[in-house]
Amino acid sequence: MKRDYTIAIHHLTRVEGHANITITVREGQLIEARWAVVETPRFFEVMLKGMSAERVPFLTSRICGICSISHALASIRALERAMHIMPPAVAEKTRLLAMHGETLQSHALHLFFLAVPDFAGTASILPLMESHPDIVRAGLQLKELGNEISTVTTGRCTHPVSLVVGGLSKAPDKAKLTALQKMIRERKPLLETACAFFRTLAIPEFSRETEFISLSNSTSYPSIGGDLVSSDGIKRDENEYLLMTNEYTKDFSTSKFTRLSRETSAAGALARFNNSSAFLHPEALKAAESFGLRPVCHNPFMNNIAQLVECVHILEDAEMLIDSLLDSELSAIKTPWKAQAGSATGAVEAPRGILYHHMETDSEGRVVKADCIIPTTQNNANIDLDLKAIAEWALEKGKNDREIEKLCEMVVRSYDPCISCSVH
Amino acid sequence: MNQQGLRFEKLKIASFDFTCCEGCQLQLANRESSLADFLRLLDIRNFREISSERHEDYDIALVEGSISRSDEVERLLAIRRQATVLVAFGTCACFGGVNSLKNRVSGEAAVSEVYGDMEVETLPVRRISEVVKVDLSIPGCPVAKEEVERIIISLVTGSLVTLPKYPVCVECKAALNTCLFELGEICLGPITRAGCHAVCTTGKTPCLGCRGPAEEINMEAFLHLVGERGLSRSDLQEKLAFYNAFDAFTP
């Protein structure tokens, strides 16, 4: 077996954005393992300066093609809190449903298009269309359902149209909500197919203890707003996001790093599960149990399973939300508001973890200062340490360079990194 | 593939992304109900986002994003050398997109605002056609998958590729929407190229012109309309500048 080698993955595939992995082994010992984000920065904080509040969600949603609803809603929440605007209840329910749609399409995209090929030993989902047509169909139909939820609630699946400061520009159509309800009921069994398939996959038994950070509230599984909590016992107010993130730069990465109690921490589906599993729908908990997933789980590969568990929760919760919207008068969708100077943080649980937007406005409602801290940014340091740990773990187990390369790619993918998002 | 006795070759296609959100690339994986048929038209040679296979023998390159770093220029030139047809794919590629808003400040100011003292390379944002020859443009933020499918089918069958020449207003009227000007908003629908099925205005939110100018627009009359209704000049400017698609017309 080769004892001296360098693994250099230039632009990791099947992830959103550009990043490299370098692993150096000399005499069978790990010398270096590095996660370097090389994505081109876009400078959204600069673009936001001077932008009117009305336009902000349309700009922030362009931070990311996968989680545009999360970005729109984080900035809307920041602006509404800064200017003391209370959106109507119908708008809040619709927004929550929109978040569910986005998370479902994002998780389905990750699980079936990006992650499954690793477990199946293929380069992409394309060969699986022949070998595992039922699984590919289930993945596509779940992703389509997520997109449909987003379209019915926000007008479009990528870059939402009707999410605005104060509420919604247009209410979801009741006939479309009814059709959506039917689609959800019809497609729910696909998750059982997916769970049965994922139970056959060999998930590496690797773990490295870390701190998990997520939003938390005392009534439901986290989605929009709440306290900031960590599995190490830290709890902070939403506006104190800077104390939770402690962002810093690394000269080899255009995406920043963060830390809290330890050297690194993790956000995302596994973090949400670890901190808030008590609020999951019983069906989702049953799915988790079938994978032996229990809090606190420190195996990063189980983030894939946590995403699948969240999909089960989302469909159950979406059904209830739609029932509630169908029972409501959908006329009061937007609160009239007056621009004022202020500042606040809006935090949401984007598919990949906690997303912070902080906005400061002037008396005309224009942004004076903006700060966006993205989930993948919060995972960078953890990914970097996981790479070192998994390379050492694999070397101890006598794995060869090809096997180590694959494990390193897989562990990074398990975070479902959204790199363009993290370099916003 | 065989259709009505005619044989078509699969298109050797590749997808690349530059400074952007990758939303247009993701559209290629959307419209799941027709995805399998769509993929049957294509021989995907390079698409980092969904496949680990990479080949350099593609004919069509879908290029997403704008250009804002020197390594992107190099990468784009290499793609241009290989591709027979280079498609500017989406608003960032066609016009610079929202990324262009960064150009209002210097590169140094932008870097220090976001990265503090760390050195980070950034160039003024450029559209793809400012760097290489573009054969075909598909605008939209994001691109409309339906339109992409229509264009790909045209390419496979060798028929003429067209974009609507008329403005979004036509599609908005057909959707029986109340005109947003009637609701006191400035909407770029009268001057923006259609093809999006007026998705934003149907959602009661003004058009921001992501598809760029329609073929023959009357900017003077449009500006007159905004002035006549006493609508905000700064709102108009913010909307026209949003995607950098109207720079040639902006007063």
Of B52, B119, B203, the CB nearest to A162: B203
Interchain CB distance below 8 Å, B118 and A249? yes
- Taking the CA atoms of A27, A31, A33 and A34 in sequence, report the sign of the dihedral they define: negative
Question: Cα angle at A90 between A72 and A284, to 5 degrees?
Answer: 75
For the segment B76-131, what is each residue's pLDDT rounded down to a tens digit?
A: 999 999 999 999 999 999 999 999 999 999 999 999 999 999 999 999 999 999 99
Instruction: Specify the residue for token string 């508001």.
Output: A337
- The pTM score is 0.97
**CB neighbours of B14 closer than 8 A, spacing ≥ 6?**
B44, B45, B46, B47, B58, B60, B61, B62, B79, B83
* pLDDT of A311 above 80: yes
For the segment A237-280, what is each residue's pLDDT rounded down to a tens digit?
A: 999 999 999 999 999 999 999 999 999 999 999 999 999 999 99
pLDDT confidence of residue B4: 72
Confidence of residue A1 (pLDDT cuts 50, 70, 90): confident
Interface test with B, best of A12, A43, A248, A422 (most B CBs within 10 A): A43
Any CB–CB contact under 8 A between B55 and chain A?
Answer: no
Interface test with A, best of B44, B205, B208, B243 (most A CBs within 10 A): B205
pLDDT confidence of residue B2: 64
Of A158, A162, A169, the CB nearest to B27: A158
pLDDT confidence of residue A389: 97
- Cβ under 8 Å to B: A residues 111-130: 113-114, 117, 123-126, 129
For the segment A119-151, what is each residue's pLDDT rounded down to a tens digit?
A: 988 999 889 988 999 999 999 999 999 999 999
Quick one: which of A198, A230, A221, A226 has its CA closest to A310?
Answer: A221
Give whole-number Cα distances, A103 to A14, A64, A142, A409, B51, in Å.
Answer: 18, 13, 11, 23, 22
For the segment A376-409, what is each residue's pLDDT rounded down to a tens digit?
A: 999 999 999 999 999 999 999 999 999 999 999 9
Specify the DSSP class assigned to residue A217: -
**CB neighbours of B64 closer than 8 A, spacing ≥ 6?**
B15, B16, B17, B18, B20, B22, B24, B25, B89, B90, B92, B93
pLDDT confidence of residue B209: 98
- Cβ under 8 Å to B: A residues 194-253: 249, 251
Q: What is the mean pLDDT of residues A11-34?
A: 95
Interchain CB distance below 8 Å, B69 and A40? yes
For the segment A169-206, what is each residue's pLDDT rounded down to a tens digit?
A: 999 999 999 999 999 999 999 999 999 999 999 999 99
Q: What is the mean pLDDT of residues A205-218?
A: 96
DSSP letters spanning A56-108: HHHHHGGG-SSSHHHHHHHHHHHHHHHTT----HHHHHHHHHHHHHHHHHHHH
SS3 state at A47: helix
- Cβ under 8 Å to A: B residues 150-209: 199-200, 202-205, 208
Residues on chain A touching B19 (C-beta within 8 angstroms): 40, 42
**CB neighbours of A289 closer than 8 A, spacing ≥ 6?**
none
| Beta-carbon pairs below 8 A across chains A and B | 156
Low-confidence ranges of chain B (pLDDT < 70): 1-3, 250-251
* pLDDT of A26 above 80: yes
Residues on chain B touching A159 (C-beta within 8 angstroms): 23, 141-142
Of B53, B204, B242, the CB nearest to A123: B53
Residues on chain B touching A154 (C-beta within 8 angstroms): 203
Confidence of residue A160 (pLDDT cuts 50, 70, 90): very high
pLDDT averaged over chain A?
97
